[in-house]
Amino acid sequence: MTILVIAEHDNKVLAPATLNTVAAAAKIGGDIHVLVAGQGAGAVAEAAAKIAGVSKVLNADNAAYAHQLPENVAPLVAELGAGYSHILAAATSNGKNILPRVAAQLDVDQISEIISVESADTFKRPIYAGNAIATVQSTASVKVITVRATGFDPVAAEGGSAAVEAVAAAHDAGTSSFVGEELAKSDRPELTAAKIVVSGGRGMQNGDNFKHLYALADKLGAAVGASRAAVDAGFVPNDMQVGQTGKIVAPQLYIAVGISGAIQHLAGMKDSKVIVAINKDEEAPIFQVADYGLVADLFEAVPELEKLV
Amino acid sequence: MKILVSIKRVIDYNVKVRVKADNSGVDLANVKMSMNPFCEIAVEEAVRLKERSIKEGRVATEIVVVSIGPTTAQEQLRTALGLGADRAILVESAEELTSLAVAKLLKAVVDNEQPQLVILGKQAIDSDNNQTGQMLAALTGYGQGTFASKVEVSGDSVAVTREIDGGAQTVSLKLPAIVTTDLRLNEPRYASLPNIMKAKKKPLEVLTPDALGVSTASTNKTIKVEAPAARSAGIKVKSVAELVEKLKNEAKVI
């Protein structure tokens, strides 16, 4: 059995989610190869070669792969991946965009966002916004799977010494082109990788009030998230949204401030180790999943919390 | 321009789901069903594109809405007709199909209808797969604009702004193309009573997978469906000081 893991990267840095995906591959067992598809991503390939447990890195360097356009990357992955037992990618926006296209090209069903490996062909994944867990078995010759990063502890980024092999294959479908991107800038840790997450909801009342959360987050070294209500109200940009349709997080500590706890939001954070809820409505559903609940006005409690930690 | 919109009948998003005692699945008996929220956004976007093209005096757009599912999915198709779709197609299948099977059936419909744009939701809130649009794009060979927060058609291409992990990305796709909708693309309208009445007279064609010549065989099998592990009950603290003390000494997370 040989497993192909698709590296998540921006041509410069290997994203941490790749380490969680390699961890899932290690649970399946067998040789692990990593594919770096990009342009000028040599440093990413070198970083991938150092990941513990990786035996080979395939580096496909081509202008057509520069922005991970699925029309070009999927044929590459399907061509290389046909000889593997499993193809794995992190369930990031890139992984979700590319992998189903690969699966359809290989004429196999995909298994999305697995949270555990039961055996080489059987996996667990959440359905209905995390309100049920399905055990799914695949009879496909190549098993195409996306991995929910928070379901697997990352493998060590150092310790491996895999060979890097250049891949010449070039696919340019010519049906799509990259126009531009606007990335939100932040000095705080990345939401999905942070040990502590502080999130605000509709109860924050406006975007300016998020400064209280930023101050608390900076003191704790935490990332700041938000509920859909806060995003839809325009308080914060949408890449901060935690939930079924946003990011899935599972930090050591999740502090929910002014968040009622709708099913949609819980799906994105209920695997956090410790959940703290601060809400003035003691009937809010968030208190049903919170380890520690504080019924209080957040505008008094958050500054006080910032002072005491 | 012809726009094909794919919609799915799913459990209403407000319903708290219950897993069946025999672990064979989720209990859907006597549960409220609705159009998948992302599909509502897809219908709305098609209707807005049509309204825009009429306003700008271009060739009238036709919106064809398709659903793959049980006979009862006709309700959701009628809803879409009430919102502004022109005609509907139901590919009737009583069994639960995988995303790949649905994509293959949609490919057959696309071959028949030859739309310039296909709009789907980014994921269904029951299976949470997030696969069908991408798979349909692979099968048709079209470009894909997934997780769209903005769609602008001009000439023979469409610019799609996509929600990605670090922010937003814009891609340009040659038509015909596939678009899947994200939450912020638009706010779906409600159907008015006169439009709901009119929708009853709009054409609704019923097909079968056999008639489309598509095999819905699957390589995936669901063995078991369980309720997630429940979190143990927490406690309410009385003050911020007590909270900090618990987090430091009991939970040891700060």
Q: What is the pLDDT of residues A41-66, one digit of tens each?
A: 999 999 999 999 999 999 999 999 99
Share of chain A above pLDDT 90, in %: 95
B31 part of a folded domain: yes
Locate the chain B residue with the closest alpha carbon to A220: B254
A265 is in an annotated binding site: yes
Residue B157: pLDDT over 80:
yes
Cβ contact A179–B177 (<8 Å): no
Question: What is the average pLDDT across B151-169?
Answer: 94
Residue B59: pLDDT over 80:
no
Mapped onto helix, strand or coil, the DSSP state of residue B207 is strand
What confidence score (pLDDT) does residue A87 get?
98
**What is the tally of structural domains in chain B?**
1
Phi, psi at B207, each rounded to 5°: -120, 170
Query: CA of B84, closest CA in chain A: separation in Å?
Result: 25
What confidence score (pLDDT) does residue A292 get?
97
The predicted-structure confidence for B79-124, as pLDDT tens digits, reads as follows 999 999 999 999 999 889 999 999 999 999 999 999 999 999 999 9
Question: What is the average pLDDT across A168-191?
Answer: 92
Q: Would you say B148 and B179 are in contact if contact means Cβ atoms under 8 Å apart?
A: yes
Cβ contact A128–B142 (<8 Å): no
Residues of B in contact with A132 (CB under 8 A): 17, 19, 26, 225-228
Going by pLDDT thresholds of 50, 70 and 90, the confidence category of residue B226 is very high
Residue B51: pLDDT over 80:
yes
Residue A105: pLDDT over 80:
yes
B238 part of a folded domain: yes
Note whether A2-166 and A196-308 share their fold: yes
CB atoms within 10 A of CB A307: 12
Question: What is the average pLDDT across A257-262?
Answer: 97
The least confident of A24-28, A99-103, A160-164, B56-60 is: B56-60
Domain residues for the domain of B37 are 2-249
Question: What is the average pLDDT across A277-282?
Answer: 97
Q: Tell me whether B208 touches chain A (CB under 8 Å).
A: no
- Of the two residues A58 and B16, the one the predictor is more confident about is A58
Q: Would you say A247 and A266 are in contact if contact means Cβ atoms under 8 Å apart?
A: no
The DSSP symbol for A209 reads: T
The B residues from 110 to 139 touching A (CB cutoff 8 Å) are: 122-123, 125-139
Residue A102: pLDDT over 80:
yes
Phi, psi at B64, each rounded to 5°: -110, 125
What confidence score (pLDDT) does residue A121 get?
98
A228 is in an annotated binding site: yes
Residues of A in contact with B120 (CB under 8 A): none
Residue B237: pLDDT over 90:
yes
B254 part of a folded domain: no
Cβ contact A244–B253 (<8 Å): no
Question: What is the average pLDDT across A247-272?
Answer: 95
What confidence score (pLDDT) does residue A50 get?
98
Overall residue count recorded for chain B in this entry: 254
> In chain A, where are the structural domains located?
2-166, 196-308
Locate the chain A residue with the closest alpha carbon to B225: A134
Q: Is residue B19 packed enough to be buried (19+ CB in 10 Å), middle (13-18) or exposed (0-12)?
A: buried
A244 is in an annotated binding site: yes
Can you tell me the distance from the alpha carbon of A18 to that of A41, in angstroms, rounded to the nearest whole number?
A: 15
Superfamily of domain A196-308: TPP-binding domain (3.40.50.1220)
Cβ contact B128–A97 (<8 Å): no
Cβ contact B134–A104 (<8 Å): yes
B150 part of a folded domain: yes
Nearest to A294 among B11, B231, B237 (CB): B237
Size of interface A-B (CB pairs under 8 A): 252
Residue A299: pLDDT over 80:
yes
As a whole number, the mean pLDDT across chain B is 96
What confidence score (pLDDT) does residue A271 get?
92
Share of chain B above pLDDT 90, in %: 88
Share of chain B above pLDDT 70, in %: 100
Going by pLDDT thresholds of 50, 70 and 90, the confidence category of residue B166 is confident
The predicted-structure confidence for A228-241, as pLDDT tens digits, reads as follows 999 999 999 988 99
What confidence score (pLDDT) does residue A278 get?
98
Going by pLDDT thresholds of 50, 70 and 90, the confidence category of residue B57 is confident
Residue B209: pLDDT over 90:
yes
Residues of B in contact with A128 (CB under 8 A): 11, 17, 26, 125-126, 128
- CATH: 3.40.50.620, 3.20.20.70, 3.30.930.10, 3.40.50.800. Which one for A2-166? 3.40.50.620
What confidence score (pLDDT) does residue B58 get?
80
Mapped onto helix, strand or coil, the DSSP state of residue A13 is coil
Which tokens is B71 given? 């006979």
A86 is in an annotated binding site: no
Cβ contact A292–B149 (<8 Å): no
What confidence score (pLDDT) does residue A233 get?
94
Cβ contact A196–B163 (<8 Å): no
CB atoms within 10 A of CB A34: 30
What confidence score (pLDDT) does residue B254 get?
85
Residue A185: pLDDT over 90:
no
What confidence score (pLDDT) does residue A187 get?
86
Cβ contact A112–B129 (<8 Å): yes
Nearest to A97 among B126, B146, B223 (CB): B146
B143 part of a folded domain: yes
Going by pLDDT thresholds of 50, 70 and 90, the confidence category of residue A2 is very high
CATH of the domain at B136: 3.40.50.620
What confidence score (pLDDT) does residue A245 get?
85
